[in-house]
Amino acid sequence: MVKRDLAMVLTASLNAGVPLIIGSAGTAGARPHLEATVGVLREIATEKGLSFRLVTVKSDLQAQMVLHSLARGELEPMGPMPQPTEDDVIHCQHIVGQCGTETLARALALDPDVVLAGRACDTAIFSVFPELLGYPVGMSLHMAKVVECTSLCCQPGGRDAMLATLDAQGFILESMNPACHATPASVAAHALYEQANPYEVEEPGGTLRLQAARYEAVDAHRVRVSGAEFVPRAKPTLKIEGAAHVGSRVVLIAGVADPRLLTCLPEVLAAVAQKVRTLLPGDWRVVPHIYGQGAVRALPPEHFSSHEAGLVVEFIAHDADMAMAVASVYKQNLLHHAFPQRLTTAGNLAFCFTPPELTGREAYRFVLYHVMHNAPLDQIFQIEAESIVPAWIQ
């Protein structure tokens, strides 16, 4: 699907003579994902006989730069994220920063046919052109904030392409799907998407303020938006992301409908884990999720499901064989564990699959989800240009 979609937009952009901008290559935007996406572009060029000028933006940060920022008190956690330790940062597999419009503007200055960026702000790839053309930054960013989610802002919401027509005072939104309608309510509600505060959107260069935004119906299908304002900050900030490998994962999926077991399920799971640890000592851990008893969000006991619960148990160990062994032993012990007022010695669990232990691949945890102040953007985001031609021409 990635190759199919890239071929479609690449061909269309080259035919139209309009630069194609792609952000967060490979969805995560680290160097391996950027390089893999460049590889797909090369394949398309060879298969379709296309030649074009490619500019890439690398978004990776070195751990030492992050540690320097941490030591200077310039690393601010986002939400409930804890401050990382030095070891946490060093053990991140990859660290990336979200480039903004200022970085993409540098890339566009190299006269590319295609800009392929690593990790990037979703808004930046849509707002950089109008900002370079002199349109108000607030209007450009607000438009970008909406259209980067395609027709999700419509009623009914969807994933169809969205057209925005921008002028100096505002913009008109129109879904390319005639069945998805942009309404004042649906577009205004989109300000809550991925936002704790619907009136302020933080961007690298400043804050987009929507307190004065207006949403007016043009007709039953389109909405005109105006009133957004942008307040720049003295120096851009940088959101950084990093994840560390924690081991291999195996997942056990089961259902529980025994009303007696449901009353003591967390205690039973903990007791079984303790028993398995005596049988299989080592570096592993078990992470249970009880759906119907607070797996998604904390619930008071009186709201617990009393008729059925879904059980998803993660087993994480230093290697896949150990994780699978722990899951198998855990399953057997859970099937026959004695709990208060038990009526049957088996059959207390229902499994969706046989075998019920499923490989969950490698497991990671977020270490960095922070804002870096005084980040040297020109040093971090490395921009390179090259000519892409079909392999049989080289």
- Which structure tokens are listed for 224? 């005109």
Cα separation, 260 vs 223, whole angstroms: 55
User: Is-contact 381 57, C-beta < 8 A?
Assistant: yes
* C-alpha torsion 56→59→64→69, nearest 10: 130
One-letter identity of residue 336: H
Under DSSP, the state recorded for 83 is: P
Cα separation, 44 vs 39, whole angstroms: 9
* C-alpha torsion 335→339→344→347, nearest 10: -30
Residue 195: band (very low, low, confident or very high) from pLDDT cuts 50, 70, 90:
confident
Total H helices, total E strands in the chain: 12, 18
Does position 341 have pLDDT exceeding 90, yes or no? Answer: no
By CB neighbour count within 10 A (0-12 exposed, 13-18 middle, 19+ buried), where does 122 fall?
middle
* C-alpha torsion 347→353→356→357, nearest 10: -170
The SS3 call for residue 163 is: strand
Does position 392 have pLDDT exceeding 80, yes or no? Answer: no
- Total-model pTM: 0.88
Q: CB-side exposure of 103: number of CA atoms within 13 Å?
A: 37
What value does the mean pLDDT of the chain take? 94
Does position 196 have pLDDT exceeding 90, yes or no? Answer: no
Residue 393: band (very low, low, confident or very high) from pLDDT cuts 50, 70, 90:
confident
Cα separation, 302 vs 298, whole angstroms: 12
* C-alpha torsion 46→48→50→56, nearest 10: -60
Does position 152 have pLDDT exceeding 80, yes or no? Answer: yes
Does position 236 have pLDDT exceeding 90, yes or no? Answer: no
pLDDT of residue 312: 97
User: Is-contact 260 348, C-beta < 8 A?
Assistant: no
pLDDT (mean) for 134-152: 95
pLDDT digits (tens, 9 = 90+) for 264-311: 999 999 999 999 999 999 999 999 999 999 999 999 989 999 899 999
Residue 194: band (very low, low, confident or very high) from pLDDT cuts 50, 70, 90:
confident
Cα separation, 100 vs 207, whole angstroms: 13
pLDDT (mean) for 344-360: 89
Does position 346 have pLDDT exceeding 80, yes or no? Answer: no
Helical H runs in 49-136? 63-71, 86-90, 101-108, 124-132
Cα separation, 89 vs 227, whole angstroms: 41
Task: For tokens 């920063």, name the residue.
Answer: 97
Report the percentage of the chain scoring pLDDT > 90.
Answer: 90
pLDDT digits (tens, 9 = 90+) for 299-318: 998 999 989 999 999 999 99
Any idea what the Cα angle at residue 154 is, between residues 153 and 160, rounded to 5°?
90
Tell me the pairing of strands 20-22 and 114-117.
parallel
pLDDT of residue 394: 65
Residue closest to 335 by CA, chosen among 211, 235, 252, 250: 252
pLDDT (mean) for 203-220: 95
Tell me the pairing of strands 309-317 and 238-256.
antiparallel
User: Is-contact 71 84, C-beta < 8 A?
Assistant: no
